[in-house]
């Protein structure tokens, strides 16, 4: 799990120029990043994974995390494959899958495929970063009205957003939610 925005970006968005709130804002960044990762069902930031998968009998397999940016190792039934630089036996990958070339198969079996790879965005997409900044901005400002749903003053009523995720954040995250395993 990695933070999906920076303190500098958040402070610029909020118009904060001093450092008196840095500790609180840093904690909010981490909490919001965890919430977003939970909402989409995977870690958006780049991380390394070792997954043990069931072989499917095909020459292609889809590890659960994406986008795949590198693959360190592939083993099927204890046999290690090397990345294919040119023609030969080994493996290749793209952002969503790993496949064996040269006649290899991910043989049918339970937990017989082990893949170590890096997946996630090395540069957080701008819309995600902005959605996280907006989400944190709301949480940061609502500290003054925790527990209120609305408040009446001088004949005017103000209603507060009490949803876990603002609608604007939900709209951005819908694009990144994984709908298939």
Q: What is the pLDDT of residues 50-70, one digit of tens each?
A: 999 999 999 999 999 989 999
- Let me know whether 102 and 154 are in one domain: no
For residue 179, being part of any structural domain is answered with no
| β-bridge pairing 109-119 and 47-55 | antiparallel
For residue 110, being part of any structural domain is answered with yes
For residue 21, being part of any structural domain is answered with yes
- Let me know whether 11 and 75 are in one domain: no
Q: 23-32, 148-157, 161-170 — which one is most confidently predicted on average?
A: 23-32
Q: Please give the average per-residue pLDDT across 13-27, as a whole number.
A: 97
Q: What is the pLDDT of residues 91-124, one digit of tens each?
A: 999 999 999 998 899 999 999 999 999 999 999 9
User: Where among 119, 142, 158 does a domain terminate?
Assistant: 119
Please report the pLDDT score of residue 143 as a whole number.
Answer: 75
pLDDT tier for residue 17 given thresholds of 50, 70 and 90: very high
The range of the structural domain enclosing residue 139 comes to: 7-44+129-172
**Cα separation, 104 vs 107, whole angstroms:** 9
Whether the predicted model's global pTM rises above the 0.85 cut = no
| Closest C-alpha to 71, from 45, 44, 47, 98 | 98
- Joined together, the tokens standing for residue 60 give 């292609």
Number of domains into which the chain is organized: 2
- Let me know whether 68 and 19 are in one domain: no
Residue 89, pLDDT > 70, answer yes
Phi and psi for 136 in degrees, rounded to 5? -70, -40
For residue 112, being part of any structural domain is answered with yes
Residue 144, pLDDT > 80, answer no
Q: Please give the average per-residue pLDDT across 172-176, as a whole number.
A: 92
- Let me know whether 104 and 63 are in one domain: yes
pLDDT tier for residue 181 given thresholds of 50, 70 and 90: low
**Cα separation, 169 vs 105, whole angstroms:** 41
Please report the pLDDT score of residue 117 as a whole number.
Answer: 98
- Let me know whether 65 and 11 are in one domain: no
- Let me know whether 51 and 40 are in one domain: no
């Amino acid at each position: 799990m990695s933070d999906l925005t920076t303190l500098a970006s958040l402070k610029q968005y909020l118009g904060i120029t001093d450092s008196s709130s840095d500790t609180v804002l840093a904690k909010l960044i981490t909490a919001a990043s965890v919430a977003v990762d939970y909402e989409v069902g995977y870690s958006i930031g780049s991380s390394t994974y070792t997954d043990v998968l069931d072989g499917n009998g095909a020459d292609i397999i889809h590890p659960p995390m994406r986008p795949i940016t590198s693959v360190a190792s592939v083993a099927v039934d204890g046999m290690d494959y090397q990345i294919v630089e040119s023609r030969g036996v080994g493996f290749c990958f793209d952002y969503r899958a790993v496949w064996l070339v040269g006649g290899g198969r991910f043989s049918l079996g339970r937990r017989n495929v082990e893949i170590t790879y890096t997946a996630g965005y090395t540069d957080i997409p701008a819309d995600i970063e902005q959605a996280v900044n907006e989400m944190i901005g709301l949480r940061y400002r609502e500290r003054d009205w925790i527990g209120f749903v609305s408040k009446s003053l001088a004949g005017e009523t103000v209603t507060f957003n009490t949803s876990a995720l603002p609608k604007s954040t939900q709209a951005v995250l819908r694009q990144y939610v994984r709908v298939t395993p």
